[in-house]
Chains A and B, each alone.
With several copies, the nearest count.
Chain A
């Protein structure tokens, strides 16, 4: 059995030797990506489809360029589409070597043009899993166990090509699926609120973000709002990721734009369609619009803030206004 990212023993050893002290982990995104994202890394991508996507971190990875990446996630949309776009434009600057995934598309915003492009041209190695399986693999990693049993999806073709194993349960005698733990080298996660030590308070669905962080060797967190530590620890039951699982904290308002960040802003459908249309054109042979998009919005700017400043203010206001629950009091989810 081969491991991508870290093996369970490597992951344990790495963490046991790590400094877990409570210290100021704020830094620039540029520094965080330089420090914690390496060529050849297995990246655990936080969020879900087009929700709470770690877009600012993705932009920075694209700007810096990285090679031979493995991406680990249950279901993603925008984050991986942006990485794929960079790869489609210049494989020498950034390339994805391998995917361990359950789903890559955009739900209401359609399928993924660039997943089709990369897969149908044989440009990436794919390992298909189910959402429950990928989530459980990261959970097993976070729990420190080398594998976890599951009761789906035996009988499917997924289990024929991925690294799961069907065994007879030693207690019931019935078939059960064993899933190897996942330990990415680095988790990239956007949350609504974090403190300077790395404690995170996620509003709405947590997706698999806490598990991904705790399974990974390093975690980079961006947050819409950096809040005071004293405010964070008033509500210990609401801390979703504890500080000692986080290595870098960067405050990036709109850090998941143009996706949806629960309680902060809704999808920017206009921008998503603009980007996705350019991706679709590339798949059909015209890379011009996508190149223009990247030159304008990613390569042509210093940081994510400069990208956001290129979005009309009214459009940003609009997606804040149509978000169901704008209040972010602790415990509040949607009002």
Chain B
């Protein structure tokens, strides 16, 4: 079968495709709300039928064939689940080591993969009356700490990729010093990939700073760096990411999120 690449897709669709492809089959994936749920469903429908989703509401290993869940606690997360309790059980599984990947997002990211989803403004001075108040950690900070590895999904803009976060909600490699996570008492290995509207990024083994792995179709090393508020490590082997296939885009649009809840952000502002 020859692959046909899609000629028309949005940045969000590209993110979903890249996220899905990053997931290995048969792994346990703790799914944050929104795009991660779409990406996991796409992976299950393509190369990863054995992926086991975990939802913080409490459902573990359900089939996602009842339609895209609008909430990680919603009734579409439970169909033929293999365990179904509540938040404590889901997070304890994670802390214990059952979750291979956590799949999260944030409003800001720094060079070490730390994320902010709490507030914009001066912290701690304006913590009680921030410039912008965001929804808060939810389970993201726990996933970032206790899933064995985390995959981060971000819109790629300079104001979101910053040298210093306004507030550190979800730990990445903290200050990047050797074994910073272990020294802080965190059990998971940390961020594995950052998937954005422009690139696939990873982290340097030694410095733990963000490095470019691949540019998405239409982007260049320069355009990615330009959209990033700090200096990226650019290795020699940066490659161009394979564009979405027609089939991947069809699955997203027709099967997974036909009403565009998360991919088109119809309701979200």
- Chain A residues with CB under 8 Å of chain B are 11-16, 18-22, 47-52, 74-75, 101-105, 107-112, 115-116, 119-122, 125-126, 128-133, 135-136, 139, 142-145, 150-158, 160-161, 166, 174-177, 197, 199, 204-211, 214, 230, 232-234, 236-237, 239, 242-245, 260, 262-263, 266-267, 269, 273, 280, 323-325, 333-334
B95 contact from A139, A143, A243, A325, Cβ within 8 A:
A143
Answer yes or no: B218 CB below 8 A from chain A CBs: no
Answer yes or no: B170 CB below 8 A from chain A CBs: yes
Beta-carbon nearest neighbor of A183 in chain B: B96
Among B11-19, B121-129, B240-248, which stretch is in contact with chain A? B121-129
Residues of chain A within 8 A of B118, CB atoms compared: 128, 157-158
Minimum C-beta distance from B266 to chain A (A): 9
A236 contact from B80, B95, B134, Cβ within 8 A:
B80
Bound-state CA distance A98–B99 (Å) is 33
Bound-state CA distance A131–B95 (Å) is 13
- Chain B residues with CB under 8 Å of chain A are 26-28, 33-34, 50, 52, 55-62, 66-67, 70-88, 91-98, 100, 118-119, 123-124, 127-142, 144-146, 148, 167-171, 174, 180-181, 183-188, 261-262, 267-269
Known: A20-B52, A155-B181, A244-B52. A49 touches B71 (CB 8 A): yes
Beta-carbon nearest neighbor of A169 in chain B: B185
Residues of chain A within 8 A of B95, CB atoms compared: 132, 143-145, 150-152
Bound-state CA distance A161–B86 (Å) is 27
Minimum C-beta distance from B146 to chain A (A): 5
Residues of chain A within 8 A of B268, CB atoms compared: 108-111
Q: Is the CB of A158 within 8 A of B92?
A: no
Residues of chain B within 8 A of A15, CB atoms compared: 96-98
Known: A208-B88, A324-B76, A334-B66. A154 touches B137 (CB 8 A): no
The secondary structure that dominates the A interface is mixed
Bound-state CA distance A245–B171 (Å) is 27
Bound-state CA distance A21–B56 (Å) is 20
Bound-state CA distance A241–B73 (Å) is 19
Beta-carbon nearest neighbor of A13 in chain B: B97
Minimum C-beta distance from B98 to chain A (A): 6
Q: Is the CB of A158 within 8 A of B84?
A: no
Q: Is the CB of A48 within 8 A of B87?
A: yes
Bound-state CA distance A135–B269 (Å) is 29
Q: Is the CB of A111 within 8 A of B87?
A: no
23 CB < 8 A contacts A-B = A20-B52, A48-B87, A50-B71, A52-B73, A103-B135, A108-B267, A120-B129, A122-B129, A131-B137, A142-B96, A152-B146, A156-B141, A197-B82, A207-B57, A207-B87, A230-B80, A236-B83, A236-B84, A260-B75, A269-B267, A324-B78, A334-B66, A334-B75
Q: Is the CB of B52 within 8 A of A22?
A: yes
Bound-state CA distance A104–B76 (Å) is 21
A20 contact from B34, B100, B167, Cβ within 8 A:
B100
Residues of chain B within 8 A of A52, CB atoms compared: 73
Beta-carbon nearest neighbor of A119 in chain B: B133
Residues of chain A within 8 A of B94, CB atoms compared: 132, 144
Q: Is the CB of B186 within 8 A of A154?
A: yes
Beta-carbon nearest neighbor of A47 in chain B: B73
Most buried by A among B91, B144, B181: B91
Minimum C-beta distance from A134 to chain B (A): 8
Known: A157-B169, A233-B82. A112 touches B135 (CB 8 A): yes
Residues of chain A within 8 A of B67, CB atoms compared: 324
Residues of chain A within 8 A of B83, CB atoms compared: 199, 236, 239, 242
Minimum C-beta distance from A215 to chain B (A): 8
Residues of chain A within 8 A of B132, CB atoms compared: 116, 120
Residues of chain B within 8 A of A239, CB atoms compared: 81-84
Q: Is the CB of B75 within 8 A of A207?
A: no
